[in-house]
Chains A and B, each alone.
Chain A
């Protein structure tokens, strides 16, 4: 790889910095602050740590016989569900009566409260103030009691969240329409609902020194390649990251080839897609705050597989998949082939087509490469404009784009009509493979440059370099081009065979339980089922 040198350099710098940091960190490592007996002291230190933030709510109340005990609820306003707060903590604690009218000892009080008073399912006893803070910040409520050196943490998470809606990035005609939301638990629940299997593992971790984002690792133990899980964990553990606002943050830190135009970590917004990948033995990384769930390892072929491929009947699904391959080829090589043919190899064009193109080229001021570049830039500008703008304005942009770029540019004699057609087809073809849209638009330009210098020779060189690069890529140790080689199961590569032929899970991804079904069972005919269900049928 060309970039290996840089990667090594960066790694070295990283290690160096880590080393320095570790040296300094040891000295200023903050020691956990214990919960003091005096409630006032605790509250004061809480306020100083959180800097008197206005959304920090401290609700004092008294409970017990004759309201003799002072307690306080600490929570962040907006992160907690007020109904839970009242029903699970306040009301039961305040109306709770001590048994035998005895007054428990100070240390016992907390555990008695936890076991007898609270009406909450998720309660935890903590002893340090830093735990109280981190729990409050993630939406829990802390119950501190005067005179106790420990506190109670009750899960009262409840903030405003988006409902499960149809995902915008992957729409389907046939198939489930639910999409992930920004809420981590909703997302893991959506996956869990697809795979209600005892082997589905959910591992939690908190990432980002500042944002403290919850991240879940989900995989099907027994099916997943544990090496991949270990690799994912290892890479995540060694991330030194300040904030995680989207799964893309993690993707960049854990991908195999950071400088490649090809992404080596998959993502999806649809629970059924992620569930299918987990069932194939992949690992899913669910990140709080984003509806995009990462999956690893990712293969090149995955970009060409859509959820609907498996919901439609195999014949048409195979045809559309082949169409997607052709479209990707067009989107990468379309303009460059056009350049090579019209600027280098006119002899390869049929004579009448050559006349047509020559007529269109007549009087246009730029070389064909510049012409194509202009159109592609125009397209990328329009696309970017269309995406970022609000929908009503976006339509205006697309109308202006279609009219100005398509028609006016040609009739003004700035570019030839065949270039517009080529670029238009190229652009539309790119949308057929959304996962590889980024790589497509980069490689397209690279190929165009090669074609403009070297013609077909340049294209074939670029193609070879591309193949070599793709062949050398890996995703978490799995070859990126897996799924095309003859030694692999090919039921689900260029064509999608019927589901009942996919007996095995993909090699290299799944490990352990690699068989989906034990037998190759085509659909039974009606009389065959009759024979099995009703053996007496023969007698009649």
Chain B
């Protein structure tokens, strides 16, 4: 008979052992058994029940092949394509047909072809949210045309187009974080019911043997369906209205001269109120600090007049752009600004009755934009060359 003491000890040790061996182990995957996915594109398929899935994989270069200097571009990436009803099926098929397992951890971008985006994307992103391998931080991009083209694009700047797009977006996020739409942001805006998500849209153009990928604006979604797009100019108005600007230029052009300002700081206070007639009035007070980036012309203006004039044209330009993009949003009847959420936060009781008819109320919004700019910095010189001294 084993003493009770030892039995207890044995049970304790055994449970410790179980703790060790019932965890961990299973998710060991050596690097050379993995395909590092750098981009996933979903496109409309000719079969209405299915979609085209394209996966871009960064191909690891072994030491010997790296030494060769003239490598064909195709060798840097592997594109896998298939057609399936759900994302999971597609991934399973990829794993079955390829020598390695797909690893979604480092997926950089999730691309949607514009035609698929117009049909709605809600059903396709479930896996990316549910699966523990893929991250909610993956960037969402709409591609003008088909997404697979963007993944297959040969670029002069970067070998892997998925990496390229994510780098471009991250560079743009130094302008405003609104360019960087992660799946997390997209979903949280989708959950706000009345708010329309916006997602950067890129266009692939041919340029000789290579291709170019450019951000050409923002795709506007109504619910999960893409309805239209904002141009780059309208996008600026949108991000200024949202008040989240880091480094951005305000380009103005008048008959007397051109001036480009750099935004040092831009605050946009939003004040919503219910009008007498039941509609909503929104007051945006933009408070911005600018610095003079570049001036040309203004040879007729005296140096005393110059500064107030510059302030004036900067204010007008900011207001014009904001109004411009708002008019587009009103035309599309898409609340890209989240005014609905602001109303809900301020008037939670009244919101209940407004919620269902928000589309009509949105198109009737009275927008009042007040811009206050001041320019404390003119850069290293105060006046442009050849200005009249007074």
Q: Which residues on A are within 8 Å of B, measured CB to CB? A: 342-344, 346-347, 351, 354-355, 357-364, 367-368, 410-411, 413, 453-455, 457-458, 461
CA distance A358 to B30 in the complex (A): 10
Asked if residues B27 and A359 are in contact (CB atoms below 8 Å), the reply is no
Closest chain A residue to B23 by CB distance?
A: A457
Asked if residues A351 and B106 are in contact (CB atoms below 8 Å), the reply is yes
CA distance A355 to B59 in the complex (A): 9
B interface residues, tally (CB under 8 Å): 27
Those of B41-62 within 8 Å (CB) of chain A = 58, 60-62
Asked if residues B58 and A355 are in contact (CB atoms below 8 Å), the reply is yes
B25 within 8 A of A: yes
CB < 8 Å neighbour of B34 from A346, A364, A455: A346
Asked if residues B24 and A368 are in contact (CB atoms below 8 Å), the reply is no
Nearest Cβ on chain A to B168's Cβ, whole angstroms: 15
Set of chain B residues within 8 Å of A368, measured between Cβ atoms:
30-31
| A and B contact pairs by CB, cutoff 8 A, 27 listed | A342-B30, A346-B103, A347-B133, A351-B36, A351-B108, A351-B163, A354-B36, A355-B36, A359-B60, A359-B66, A360-B63, A362-B32, A362-B62, A362-B63, A363-B62, A363-B64, A364-B32, A368-B30, A368-B31, A410-B63, A413-B62, A413-B63, A413-B64, A453-B25, A454-B20, A454-B24, A461-B20
B28 within 8 A of A: yes
Query: Given A343-B31, A358-B36, is A457 in contact with B62 using a C-beta cutoff of 8 Å?
Result: no
Closest chain A residue to B105 by CB distance?
A: A347
A-B contact count (CB 8 A): 79
Nearest Cβ on chain B to A496's Cβ, whole angstroms: 40
B331 within 8 A of A: no
Nearest Cβ on chain B to A479's Cβ, whole angstroms: 25
Asked if residues A454 and B106 are in contact (CB atoms below 8 Å), the reply is no
Asked if residues B61 and A362 are in contact (CB atoms below 8 Å), the reply is yes
Set of chain B residues within 8 Å of A364, measured between Cβ atoms:
32
Query: Given A354-B36, A358-B60, A359-B62, is A343 in contact with B29 using a C-beta cutoff of 8 Å?
Result: yes
Set of chain A residues within 8 Å of B34, measured between Cβ atoms:
346, 358
Set of chain A residues within 8 Å of B38, measured between Cβ atoms:
351
Nearest Cβ on chain A to B56's Cβ, whole angstroms: 13
CB < 8 Å neighbour of B60 from A344, A351, A355, A367: A355
Query: Given A346-B34, A346-B105, A354-B36, is A363 in contact with B63 using a C-beta cutoff of 8 Å?
Result: yes
Set of chain A residues within 8 Å of B24, measured between Cβ atoms:
453-455, 457-458
Set of chain A residues within 8 Å of B31, measured between Cβ atoms:
342-343, 346, 354, 357-358, 361, 368
Nearest Cβ on chain A to B109's Cβ, whole angstroms: 12
Q: A344-B29, A351-B108, A364-B32 are in contact. List 16 more A-B contacts (CB 8 A).
A: A343-B30, A344-B27, A344-B28, A346-B29, A351-B36, A351-B163, A355-B58, A361-B31, A362-B60, A363-B63, A363-B64, A367-B30, A413-B63, A453-B24, A455-B24, A455-B27
CA distance A123 to B34 in the complex (A): 83
Asked if residues B63 and A347 are in contact (CB atoms below 8 Å), the reply is no
CA distance A362 to B31 in the complex (A): 8
Asked if residues A361 and B32 are in contact (CB atoms below 8 Å), the reply is yes
Set of chain A residues within 8 Å of B28, measured between Cβ atoms:
343-344, 455
Q: Lowest 3 CB-CB distances: which A-B pairs, in order? A: A347-B105, A454-B24, A363-B62
Set of chain A residues within 8 Å of B106, measured between Cβ atoms:
346-347, 351, 354
CA distance A355 to B32 in the complex (A): 11
Set of chain B residues within 8 Å of A360, measured between Cβ atoms:
63
Binary contact readout B256-294 vs A (1 if CB under 8 angstroms, 0 otherwise): 000000000000000000000000000000000000000
Binary contact readout B1-45 vs A (1 if CB under 8 angstroms, 0 otherwise): 000000000000000000010011101111110101010000000
Set of chain A residues within 8 Å of B135, measured between Cβ atoms:
347
CA distance A364 to B31 in the complex (A): 11
Of A362, A413, A453, which is in contact with the most chain B CB atoms at under 10 Å from its CB? A362
Nearest Cβ on chain B to A33's Cβ, whole angstroms: 56
Closest chain A residue to B104 by CB distance?
A: A347
Set of chain A residues within 8 Å of B63, measured between Cβ atoms:
359-360, 362-363, 410-411, 413
CA distance A358 to B247 in the complex (A): 36
Query: Given A347-B133, A359-B61, is A454 in contact with B23 using a C-beta cutoff of 8 Å?
Result: yes
Closest chain A residue to B107 by CB distance?
A: A351
Set of chain A residues within 8 Å of B60, measured between Cβ atoms:
355, 358-359, 361-362
Set of chain B residues within 8 Å of A361, measured between Cβ atoms:
30-32, 60
Set of chain A residues within 8 Å of B108, measured between Cβ atoms:
351
Set of chain B residues within 8 Å of A362, measured between Cβ atoms:
32, 60-63
Set of chain A residues within 8 Å of B32, measured between Cβ atoms:
358, 361-364
Those of B224-238 within 8 Å (CB) of chain A = none
Closest chain A residue to B162 by CB distance?
A: A351
Nearest Cβ on chain B to A466's Cβ, whole angstroms: 16
Nearest Cβ on chain B to A230's Cβ, whole angstroms: 34
Closest chain B residue to A347 by CB distance?
A: B105
CA distance A189 to B30 in the complex (A): 60
CA distance A351 to B34 in the complex (A): 14
Closest chain B residue to A411 by CB distance?
A: B63
Closest chain A residue to B32 by CB distance?
A: A361
CA distance A453 to B28 in the complex (A): 8
CA distance A113 to B353 in the complex (A): 125
Set of chain A residues within 8 Å of B29, measured between Cβ atoms:
343-344, 346
Nearest Cβ on chain A to B177's Cβ, whole angstroms: 20
Set of chain A residues within 8 Å of B30, measured between Cβ atoms:
342-343, 361, 367-368
CA distance A359 to B103 in the complex (A): 16
CA distance A346 to B60 in the complex (A): 14
Set of chain B residues within 8 Å of A461, measured between Cβ atoms:
20
